Structure 1
Amino acid sequence: MAVTVGIVAQRENERAQQLADSLVGLVEKRGDDVLVDNATAEAIDASGVPVDAMNECAFVVSIGGDGTFLFVAREAGNAPLMGVNLGEVGFLNAVAPADAVDAVTALLEEAHSQGAVSGRSVSRLTARGDNWSLEPALNEVLVHGPRRGPAGGVTVDIAVDGEPYASSWGDGALVATPTGSTAYNLSDGGPLVHPTVDGLVITQMCAADAMPSLVVDGDSEITLTVSDAETAWAISDGRNRQPLAPGETVTVTRADNSITLTGPTVDFFQALEKLE
């Protein structure tokens, strides 16, 4: 029985599109089925579908940087994901372009022999408030004022399982997964967390009275309450956002549904060498 593979390439990236075209040919030559995202399909003269139509695929290949991978993770539902790295560091994308054909071939063979592909489960975060919730975040949920920087701050009161941890005026605060510890968390002075750690990281952003970043149990409930600003924002993975009124609380917990990373794994320590 044929299996179905999803392929998503970084928008307006000719190199990514050419690799996508090669992988489409590989899958079809083997007699399997392939779904290509609309933007890539237009570039390589193929039939396309929305990425959210790939949630039943045996696996989905994301070709690009971490931003492309995060987009695919939001849209592709429960399908296992493999990332081909065209970016600079590639904490989410483990496969070099030169190895993509071999990696996809191996996954197709595994899907046929085992009925599914194996992988590593990675936690995501959910953020919710009164009558709203954001799409799950693979990297982080952050809360900030009207804007980051001068004249854009907010006071954020942070509690862990109901116990106060920190309160300060600043740009805001964030909660990151171990996966996301290398993203905004790191740029705001937070610690690196190994991907196998079952925890969450809380980091204040340019706080006037900053506490050290805190790593808490992965099952913790973290609340962030905003004040001293006319408006604030809760943002999931830099894309999905919710406006907040003064006094509003954002509750962040681990999401019920994780995602599965399949294919070769990232060498975490080797990837760290690429950080500036």
Structure 2
Amino acid sequence: MKIGIYGQFYHKNSEQYIQIILDSLRKKEHEVLIEEDFMDIINHNDGVDTTSHFKTFTQLDSSYDFFFSIGGDGTILKSITYVQDLDIPIVGINTGRLGFLATIQKEDIAKSINQILQGEYSISERSLLQLTSEPHNPELSNLNFALNEVAINRKNTTSMIKVDTEVDDKYLTSYWSDGLILSTPTGSTGYSLSCGGPVIEPSSKSLVITPIAPHNLSARPLVLPDSSKITLQVSGREKSYLVSLDSRIATFTNNTRLTVQKAPFTIKLVQLLEDSFIKTLRKKLLWGEDKRNLKQ
């Protein structure tokens, strides 16, 4: 079995969890490759035994069986830029706080890895959004997709922007706001939620448009089928604005026409059999907790 390992940086005590992961995989004699920059981070920090030689990679191919993402939800968002459309299942190992995507907890790493290697897991398939622009923006390159959201934001101004919005080539409205979020069900628990958007179960075939601090107070989040084509055109006092695809940011000029649609591929997240989105949601949002029993 061939396994890729990726991380962005160290959380507190990350080295002990990385060591457990490497030891667990080494015992099973699987082929393990570590992303090149992450290997540099490991080598520059104490606490991880690097006496065993591990190969490194800078790009993936379809020969990988799993891709281990070590960190939090942000690390998984970066992981999809490696996996892209290769259909490699991502194992999210959470070494930070409780996340919605990286659901394997650091206290259970060895047990969880053993379950996964024995095939005791399910796959949660996640849709993505794809952004195209007219005229084309070279900043997009081939990484024009997002697992969480595509977000339009004002740039270099405190003034609002206007986002003319069409759905399936039919005019919807013009949002006067600080920006606009187009979110997948996966991203509904992120930026969109903080701006008043709804929580959407990940397998739902939908997307949501959520305005950011809208001036027109009648503007509310709108849930649409994920077959919809959303077309946007921005205007405002400044000549340019920002578009973010998860954590990647590009600058666009006001004459640009943006089109957001469901991407032609999905991302596969490995989920332990005892876990579920509902369980994670309950833990993350403290649903069902008696606040009187929480320490002040």
Q: TM-score, normalised by structure 2?
A: 0.82
What does 1:66-85 correspond to in 2, within 5 Å?
66-77=73-84, 78=86, 79-85=88-94
- What per-residue deviation string (whole Å, max 9, x for no partner) do you get for residues 86-107 of structure 1? 3333110121112222222222
- What per-residue deviation string (whole Å, max 9, x for no partner) do you get for residues 157-206 of structure 1? 11111122221322110100000001110111111111121100001111
Q: Would the alpha carbon gap of residues 76 and 51 (structure 1) be closer, same or farther in structure 2, given more than 3 Å must change?
A: farther
Gaps of 5+ in 1: 112-116
What does 1:16-31 correspond to in 2, within 5 Å?
16-31=14-29
Q: Residues 243 and 250 of structure 2 are in contact (CA less than 8 Å); yes or no, is this contact kept in structure 1?
A: yes
- What per-residue deviation string (whole Å, max 9, x for no partner) do you get for residues 129-179 of structure 1? 0224443100000111215xx625311111111122221322110100000
**Farther off after superposition, 88-97 or 38-47:** 38-47
Work out the CA distance in 1 between the residues paired with 2:158 and 2:60: 42
**Farther off after superposition, 16-25 or 123-132:** 16-25
Q: Residue 123 of structure 1 aligns with which residue?
A: 127
Aligned residue type for 1:223: T
Gaps of 5+ in 2: 43-47, 287-296
Q: TM-score, normalised by structure 1?
A: 0.87
Work out the CA distance in 1 between the residues paired with 2:8 and 2:60: 17
**CA root-mean-square deviation:** 2.3
Aligned residue type for 1:107: I
Question: Is residue 2:192 matched to residue 1:185?
Answer: yes
Q: Residues 88 and 274 of structure 1 are in contact (CA less than 8 Å); yes or no, is this contact kept in structure 2?
A: no
Q: Identify which of 267, 271, 274 aligns with 2:281.
A: 271
Work out the CA distance in 1 between the residues paired with 2:165 and 2:12: 44
Question: Is residue 2:213 matched to residue 1:206?
Answer: yes
Work out the CA distance in 1 between the residues paired with 2:56 and 2:129: 27
Q: Residue 291 of structure 2 aligns with which residue?
A: none
What does 1:128-147 correspond to in 2, within 5 Å?
128-130=132-134, 131-132=136-137, 133=140, 134-147=143-156
Q: Residues 11 and 95 of structure 2 are in contact (CA less than 8 Å); yes or no, is this contact kept in structure 1?
A: no
Work out the CA distance in 1 between the residues paired with 2:220 and 2:63: 42
**Farther off after superposition, 162-171 or 214-223:** 162-171
Q: Would the alpha carbon gap of residues 51 and 214 (structure 1) be closer, same or farther in structure 2, given more than 3 Å must change?
A: farther
Aligned residue type for 2:257: T
Aligned residue type for 2:119: E
Question: Which secondary structure state, in structure 2, belongs to the residue aligned with residue 155 of structure 1?
Answer: strand
Q: Residue 114 of structure 1 aligns with which residue?
A: none
Q: Would the alpha carbon gap of residues 55 and 153 (structure 1) be closer, same or farther in structure 2, given more than 3 Å must change?
A: farther
Q: Residues 11 and 39 of structure 1 are in contact (CA less than 8 Å); yes or no, is this contact kept in structure 2?
A: no
Q: Residues 7 and 38 of structure 2 are in contact (CA less than 8 Å); yes or no, is this contact kept in structure 1?
A: yes
Q: Residue 292 of structure 2 aligns with which residue?
A: none
